[in-house]
């Protein structure tokens, strides 16, 4: 229910926040994103109840919508300002790789913090990390857009432009929506390890290989073309891991994630290359809101059949992508 609240928040605010980034400041949205996520984590620590966690997920969801679309648009337009937009795919792969590798020291830190100060210490350090991300985002350069005069379109006009732009690139939008939604299972990796009899204190270290293989897949995406069967193979590997359901099967989860992140980088890059207006963040947010609807299916399938059911969903998505 909490993850559903998180996704529902994204459904409501995803596209409006994308238009906000397009109309005003993408950098400003990234700064606000870190502050809101910090507030969400603080709510979890201060009010460790269902309603406290629900409030935290709403704040986290709001922060996520401000970041979603704004970051990709800021990165792409920054490259385009120098005529380097063809480098977006490789740079996007590098960003994904660094993001995933960063989870390794975080996992080690989580284990140490939990051992030293329990849940509260880990929570407050998380708050500090989110605020630090806002400080870093405030230093990002942001290229000018539009004429900068009084004839700048208003917020609603920007929103309409982004929604119209999503129509001619709807296949690329659909591909990102379907593939990105699969990443919702990342929230369950630690639960999988626990269910497969890994002691709680060792769960962060046991799952440390998953983001590493994901990083490897993302890095390769910047250098190799992709084929439709890669996503299908990732789903088959996840189903096999769920059938085994033993600690060693976490290795297969890592392989699934590496193949999946390889595909995700490619479909995200294809969408950015196809967007042709200043409403880039809004169009990207349209894909993100589609992914939130599909994420509800991931949550439901987890309840019904855990990782095996989600693996079947990946197989279905792969078939849809192959036929588009």
The answer on pLDDT for 80 being more than 70 is yes
- Of the candidates 52, 206, 36, which has an alpha carbon nearest to the alpha carbon of residue 133? 36
Does the structure show a pLDDT above 60 at 147? no
Average pLDDT, the chain: 88
Which has more confidence, 163 or 109?
109
Instruction: Give the pLDDT confidence of 171-208 residue by residue, as tens digits.
Output: 888 899 999 999 989 888 988 998 998 888 788 778 88
Confidence of residue 151 (pLDDT cuts 50, 70, 90): low
Question: What local confidence, expressed as pLDDT, does residue 59 receive?
Answer: 97
Are 73 and 284 within 8 A, CB to CB? yes
Alpha-carbon distance of 78 to 6, in angstroms, equals: 30
Q: Helix H segments across 24-80?
A: 26-46, 50-67, 70-80
Write the burial class of residue 212 (CB in 10 Å: 0-12 exposed, 13-18 middle, 19+ buried). middle
Residue 279 pLDDT grade (very low, low, confident, very high; cuts 50, 70, 90)? confident
Q: Is the pLDDT of residue 146 over 70?
A: no
Name every residue whose Cβ is closer than 8 Å to that of residue 24 and which is 6 or more positions away in sequence: none
pLDDT bucket at 289, cuts 50 / 70 / 90:
confident
Range of lowest pLDDT (24-38, 84-98, 181-195, 293-307): 293-307
The per-residue pLDDT for 4 is 81
For the entire predicted model, the pTM comes to 0.80
Q: pLDDT-based confidence at 226, cuts 50/70/90?
A: confident
The answer to which of 4-8, 40-44, 175-179 has the lowest mean pLDDT is: 4-8
Tell me what pLDDT residue 150 has.
55
Give the pLDDT band of residue 149 (cuts 50, 70, 90): low
pLDDT at residue 269 tops 60: yes
**Of 137, 120, 112, which Cα lies nearest the Cα of 29?**
137
Q: How confident is the model at residue 137 (pLDDT cuts 50, 70, 90)?
A: very high
Element (H, E) at 216: helix 209-221
Predicted confidence (pLDDT) at residue 125 exceeds the cutoff of 90: yes
Torsion sign over Cα 80, 82, 86, 89: negative
pLDDT at 254: 94
Residue 324: the pLDDT is 63
- Domains of the chain are 2-140+157-323 (1.20.1250.20)
Question: Each residue of 230-264: pLDDT tens digit?
Answer: 999 999 999 999 999 899 999 999 999 999 999 99
In percent, how much of the chain has pLDDT > 70?
97
Would you state the pLDDT for residue 58? 96
Q: Identify the band that residue 267 occupies on the pLDDT scale cut at 50, 70 and 90.
A: very high
Q: Rounded to an integer, what distance in angstroms lies between the CA atom of residue 63 and that of residue 33?
A: 4
In this prediction, residue 243 carries a pLDDT of 93
222: pLDDT strictly greater than 90: no
């Amino acid at each position: 229910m909490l993850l559903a609240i998180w996704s529902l928040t994204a459904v409501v605010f995803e596209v409006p926040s994308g238009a906000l980034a397009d109309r005003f400041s993408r950098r400003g949205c990234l700064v606000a994103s870190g502050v809101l996520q910090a507030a969400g984590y603080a709510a979890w620590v201060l009010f460790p109840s269902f309603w406290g966690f629900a409030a935290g997920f709403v704040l986290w969801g709001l922060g996520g919508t401000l970041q979603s679309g704004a970051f990709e648009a800021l990165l792409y337009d920054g490259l385009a300002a120098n005529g380097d937009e063809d480098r977006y795919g490789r740079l996007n792969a590098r960003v994904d790789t660094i993001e995933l590798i960063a989870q390794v020291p975080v996992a080690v830190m989580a284990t140490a913090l939990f051992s030293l100060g329990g849940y509260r210490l880990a929570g407050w350090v998380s708050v500090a990390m989110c605020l630090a991300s806002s400080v870093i985002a405030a230093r990002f350069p942001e290229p000018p857009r539009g004429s900068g005069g009084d004839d700048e379109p208003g917020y609603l006009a920007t929103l309409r432009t982004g929604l119209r732009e999503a129509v001619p690139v709807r296949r690329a939008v659909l591909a990102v929506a379907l593939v990105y939604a699969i990443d919702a299972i990342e929230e369950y990796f630690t639960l999988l390890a626990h269910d497969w009899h890994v002691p709680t204190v060792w769960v962060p270290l046991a799952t440390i290989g998953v983001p590493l293989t994901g990083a490897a897949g993302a890095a390769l995406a910047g250098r190799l073309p992709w084929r439709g069967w890669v996503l299908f193979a990732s789903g088959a590997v996840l189903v096999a891991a769920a059938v085994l359901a033993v600690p060693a099967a976490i290795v297969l989860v890592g392989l699934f994630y590496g193949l999946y992140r390889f595909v995700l980088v490619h479909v995200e890059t294809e969408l950015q290359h196809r967007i042709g207006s200043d409403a880039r963040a809004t169009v990207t947010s349209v894909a993100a809101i589609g992914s939130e609807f599909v994420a509800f299916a991931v949550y439901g399938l987890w309840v019904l059949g855990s990782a095996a059911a989600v693996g079947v969903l990946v197989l279905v998505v792969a078939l849809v992508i192959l036929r588009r």
